Structure 1
Amino acid sequence: MEHGAAAAVDAAPVLVRVEGLAKRYGDTTIFEDVDFTLRQGEFVCIVGHSGCGKTTILNTLAGLERASDGHVIVDGREVVGPGLDRGVVFQGHALMPWLTVRQNIAFAVRSKWPDWPKTKVDEQVRKYVALVSLTPALDKKPSQLSGGMKQRVGIARAFAIEPRMLLLDEPFGALDALTRGTIQDELLKICAATRQTVFMITHDVDEALLLADRVMLMSNGPHARVAEIVVNTMPRSRQRATLHHDPQYYPMRNHLMDFLVERSHPLTPPRSIP
């Protein structure tokens, strides 16, 4: 079944195509010649040191920034601005503090489907609030929620508009380890249930190996590039508690750590996993 799930992703159509992407600020080239694809239902993490342009790449996919060169094609159309076909979750939850959980998510749902009746909007809200296990907090305001709960609301809001692609910019970076693990588990379950395509920035190698089908490794900036793309060969039903028991885990983890510590300089040639 696991091999079937992986094969299904491999056989899925390409949803996102990034070609020759580059970003310059004045005379400084942050990254250049960035090329990659994302298939429908695939979870891809991008890893690299600060300053290599990870967030700028994500913002370009979201349509929040324009690249200096190159193209981003989503579902056959070039990205020229933000759109409801792409949901974004940042490290800060960005909830409207004067609205309840229900109202925050309903606002996004109505933006996507303005003609829906109130009952259908509320049904959609309840569905995704339940998926992140927050039904008891449905009518609470952000000030009454913990940091982890706020992030779960942000994730539910992004999923509730049923985007073609979900963009996550270190959404768990400010959370404690226990809360972070809980939300990672929620995210895995939702992605499995919805077959969501996800592009996520993380600094956490273990998080990348838990969540991602592929891990993109960025060389250091300036002139950063995608130095290597590592395929996660562990089964898709990965769990935090048992991840380290998989014989493939430590070779891949060591490979990623070795890249970040020793080989992230742009001139260093890539090396295969032993």
Structure 2
Amino acid sequence: MLSERSHMSKVMLPAEHQGLARFVEVSNLAKRYRPNIPAVFSNVSFTIAKGEFVCIIGHSGCGKSSILNILAGLEQPSDGVVIMDGKEIDGPGLDRGVVFQSHALLPWLTAAQNVELAVRSRHPEYSRHQVKDCAEHYIGMVGLSSALHKRPSELSGGMRQRVGIARAFSIEPKMLLMDEPFGALDALTRGLIQEELLRICAEIHQTVFMITHDVDEAILLADRLVLMSNGPEARVAEIVENPLPRSRTRETMHHEAGFYDLRNHLVDFLVRRSALVQKNIHN
């Protein structure tokens, strides 16, 4: 049954199936860093609907971060194009917020001041009080109102990452891009932030594209999962729709019908089929 669903997802994506507009269109994307060597990935195509949460999964070297950087406008593709909201992405912009593996906070500024910088970039017309209120709103949204005036060195790793997420949300991005943002956190902290992220995204209908190596994290967060074959010359091997209801939580999702089928399918892909797909490409 899962294989049928996976096949269907490659022919008709859920965004189209549900009548939703294609908000982001990635078409025939390729990236090579030097001539005369194989591309990191090529012929990568997928869509993201507005308000959809998409996770991309694959082994190191398949180009996940390069794809995210192209969506962010931080890198240029060697081939192909990315269209978001009807416009081609050709550089960074405030319509996209990025959360990296490292929080990337300015260490000499407080949590509030780090977020205020982002608010000013989005709303240069705001008064000082408006900037302050806006920053406090987003820091409160990630549950850190008590840490407004603390510098990064005074915060735990999870708290620093929350400030980074608040900063990304504060520019009111049309799309949020996340590059393994919870990879360095302990399991308990990671779980708490995952649930905060789900709650916020549901509240404001945020569109998200996220890289993860964690299968359970992907199942919890994603509406769809883009599975990449091994690199070089990596491809989109499958696009799998998450059959679990959006109301899933860490505590309940393993009780949902289809959870273990989906999990086994993803693990089998990473362990075995991602390499087979690459081998078939080169044969």
TM-score bracket relative to the smaller structure: over 0.9
State the secondary structure of the residue aligned to 1:20: strand
Q: Is 2:83 the counterpart of 1:70?
A: no
- Distance change (3 Å), C-alpha of 1:269 and 1:231: farther
TM-score, length of structure 2 as denominator length: 0.90
Aligned residue number for residue 30 of structure 1:
40
1:219 to 229, 251, 268: 229
TM-score, length of structure 1 as denominator length: 0.93
Q: How far apart, CA to CA, are the structure 1 residues paired with 2:97 and 2:57?
A: 20
Aligned residue number for residue 20 of structure 1:
28
1:20-169 equivalences under 5 Å are 20-26=28-34, 27-169=37-179
**Contact between 2:28 and 2:44, CA under 8 Å: does it hold in 1?**
yes
Q: Give the Å deviation of 1:122.
A: 1.7
Q: Is 2:235 the counterpart of 1:240?
A: no
State the secondary structure of the residue aligned to 1:139: coil
Q: How far apart, CA to CA, are the structure 2 residues paired with 1:269 and 1:248?
A: 29
Q: How far apart, CA to CA, are the structure 2 residues paired with 1:43 and 1:53?
A: 19
1:228-267 equivalences under 5 Å are 228-265=238-275, 267=277
State the secondary structure of the residue aligned to 2:203: helix
Q: Unaligned regions of 5+ residues in structure 1, if any?
A: 1-5
Q: Unaligned regions of 5+ residues in structure 2, if any?
A: 1-13
Q: Is 2:182 the counterpart of 1:172?
A: yes
Which residue identity lines up with residue 51 of structure 1 in the other structure? G
Q: How far apart, CA to CA, are the structure 2 residues paired with 1:9 and 1:77?
A: 23
- Listed one character per residue, the Cα deviations across residues 125-153 of structure 1 (whole Å, up to 9, x for unaligned) are 12111111000001111110000000000
Deviates more, 1:98-107 or 1:116-125: 116-125
State the secondary structure of the residue aligned to 1:33: strand
Q: Give the Å deviation of 1:74.
A: 1.0
State the secondary structure of the residue aligned to 2:275: coil
Q: Give the Å deviation of 1:28.
A: 2.3
Q: How far apart, CA to CA, are the structure 2 residues paired with 1:187 and 1:19?
A: 28
Q: How far apart, CA to CA, are the structure 2 residues paired with 1:184 and 1:28?
A: 36
Q: How far apart, CA to CA, are the structure 2 residues paired with 1:8 and 1:166?
A: 21
| Equivalences, count | 265
- Listed one character per residue, the Cα deviations across residues 149-192 of structure 1 (whole Å, up to 9, x for unaligned) are 00000000000111000000000000000100010011001001
Query: What CA RMSD, in Å, does the superposition of the two structures yield over aligned residues?
Result: 1.7
Q: Give the Å deviation of 1:15.
A: 1.3
Which residue identity lines up with residue 219 of structure 2 in the other structure? L
Aligned residue number for residue 3 of structure 1:
none
Q: How far apart, CA to CA, are the structure 2 residues paired with 1:174 and 1:24?
A: 28
Deviates more, 1:6-15 or 1:65-74: 6-15
State the secondary structure of the residue aligned to 2:109: coil
Which residue identity lines up with residue 259 of structure 2 in the other structure? Y
Q: How far apart, CA to CA, are the structure 1 residues paired with 2:15 and 2:269?
A: 27
Percent of residue pairs bearing the same amino acid type: 63
Deviates more, 1:227-236 or 1:122-131: 122-131
Q: How far apart, CA to CA, are the structure 2 residues paired with 1:225 and 1:7?
A: 21
Q: How far apart, CA to CA, are the structure 1 residues paired with 2:15 and 2:80?
A: 30
Q: How far apart, CA to CA, are the structure 2 residues paired with 1:102 and 1:130?
A: 10
Query: Where has structure 1 moved over 4 Å in runs of 4 or more?
Result: 6-9
